[in-house]
Amino acid sequence: MTSSYDALLLLSFGGPEGPDDVIPFLENVTRGRNIPRERLEAVGEHYYLFGGVSPINQLCRDLKGAIEADFASHGLDLPVYWGNRNWTPYLADTVRQMKADGVRRAAAFVTSAYSGYSTNDQYLADIARAREEVEDAPVIDKLPVYCDRPGFIDPFVDAAEDALSSLPADARLIFTAHSVPLSQPNRELYVDELEAASRTVAEKAAPGTPWDLVYQSRSGPPTQPWLEPQITDHLEKLHGEGVRAVAVVPIGFVSDHMEVKYDLDVEAAGRAEELGIAFARAATPGADPRFAALPRQLLLDETR
Ligand SMILES: CC1=C(CCC(=O)O)c2cc3nc(cc4[nH]c(cc5[nH]c(cc1n2)c(C)c5CCC(=O)O)c(CCC(=O)O)c4C)C(CCC(=O)O)=C3C
Ligand SMILES: [Fe+2]
């Protein structure tokens, strides 16, 4: 099987791999952004709780392996590279390696499924900046946004069914995504896509079950409006309405990284427990073979 590309680039966020990495990582993430010092210190503690190791890099290694297996089993002979925005392997170093290996034209699969600034445009800017750092860099085309593709949706459908099956029959569905400032460019598109993906998963996994889309992991100064409601506030509201069980689906993410492991599995689950609400968190696609098939399907334009 052939394609017009001679490499695939897996592009991700990056995360610390030990306690000494945590502060430099957080400085990388927040450089030039208006994030209060207290928020940074609080987020540092989330990482220290896990030994200073974010799950995200291992998740990328696992996904890279699954993509390579998918390519191999479909006779697609294309090397897979991996680079990050905020930690090693830094994207510019990866692009330098690709150049040294003779890559001329690569397709980029980003570990973020949606349109919007943080989820799409910022990764495009990362690619442009990394290419500027490397003389005669390979061409790198970002593959299309994939939040509506079966390879992304279907693993969430199964995961939502699994989470619901562990709860009483009257459990509610909560979809959650990373909050962004209301002022962020293309925020409406991001929200529209999140709503559409949530609706599709809800209708397939549990037709008739009430569902809501809420947000998590906000930072920024309290005076700056971000997408709401936050999941913890939403749990309180549902509690007031007599809801006793929730299945939480992290539809805004592709893997169980720190925003999922801390903000949902520690913080939101802890709030639910205090409120006496049974809480089950649905898995993210991770290295599911259906998800790992998406880069090939997008490359060969045969997804739908
Ligand atoms: C939309 C979105 C996604 C989903 C799309 C995607 O996946 O790319 C995402 C993912 C992630 N965000 C992550 C980590 C962080 N994000 C921060 C800060 C921010 N995120 C924002 C948005 C998003 N973030 C925004 C608007 C900010 C404010 C500063 C800014 O405008 O940039 C901060 C600073 C501290 C804090 O304020 O929380 C950290 C540490 C990790 C790594 C987790 C790990 O280590 O496992 C991942 C996957
Ligand atoms: Fe973030």
DSSP 163-229: HHHTS-TTPEEEEEEE--BTTSTTHHHHHHHHHHHHHHHHHHHSTT--EEEEEE---S-TTS-BSS-
CA distance 250 to 84: 22
What rounded mean pLDDT belongs to the chain? 96
State residue 177 phi and psi, 5-degree precision: -145, 165
> From ligand 1's centre to the CA of 114, what distance in Å?
14
If you take atom 48 of ligand 1, which residue's CA is the nearest one?
A: 13
State residue 238 phi and psi, 5-degree precision: -60, -40
The closest of 22, 205, 193, 8 to 116, measured between CA atoms, is: 193
Residues making up the annotated binding site for Fe(2+) are 178, 259
Nearest 5 degrees, angle CA 19-CA 21-CA 22? 70
Please give the pLDDT value at position 302.
54
Domains 7-146+288-299 and 150-281 share a fold: yes
**Which residue of 219, 251, 266 sits with most ligand 1 atoms within 8 Å of its CB, as the best mutation to test the pocket?**
219
**What is the CATH number assigned to the segment(s) 7-146+288-299?**
3.40.50.1400
The closest of 91, 100, 198, 215 to 152, measured between CA atoms, is: 198
Atom of ligand 1 nearest to the CA of 15: 45
User: Burial, 139: exposed, middle or buried (Cβ in 10 Å; 0-12, 13-18, 19+)?
Assistant: exposed
**Which residue of 17, 26, 29 sits with most ligand 1 atoms within 8 Å of its CB, as the best mutation to test the pocket?**
29
pLDDT (tens, 9 = 90+) of the chain, 304 residues, equals 567 899 999 999 999 999 999 999 999 999 888 788 888 899 999 999 999 999 999 999 999 999 999 999 999 999 999 999 999 999 999 999 999 999 999 999 999 999 999 999 999 999 999 999 999 999 999 999 999 999 999 999 999 999 999 999 999 999 999 999 999 999 999 999 999 999 999 999 999 999 999 999 998 888 999 999 999 999 999 999 999 999 999 999 999 999 999 999 999 999 999 999 999 999 999 999 999 999 999 999 854 3
Atom of ligand 1 nearest to the CA of 254: 7
If you take atom 7 of ligand 1, which residue's CA is the nearest one?
A: 112
If you take atom 44 of ligand 1, which residue's CA is the nearest one?
A: 258
> From ligand 2's centre to the CA of 6, what distance in Å?
31
CA distance 158 to 161: 5
ipTM given for this complex: 0.96
**Is 154 in a helix, a strand, or coil?**
helix
CA distance 150 to 159: 14
Residues with CB under 6 A from ligand 1: 13, 15, 26, 29-30, 33, 35, 39-40, 43, 54-56, 111-112, 118-119, 178, 180, 217, 219, 252, 257-259
Residues making up the annotated binding site are 54, 123, 178, 259
CA distance 269 to 248: 9
Say what the pTM is: 0.96
Which of these CATH numbers, 3.50.50.60, 3.40.50.1820, 3.40.50.1400, 2.160.20.10, describes 150-281?
3.40.50.1400
Domain boundaries, the chain: 7-146+288-299, 150-281
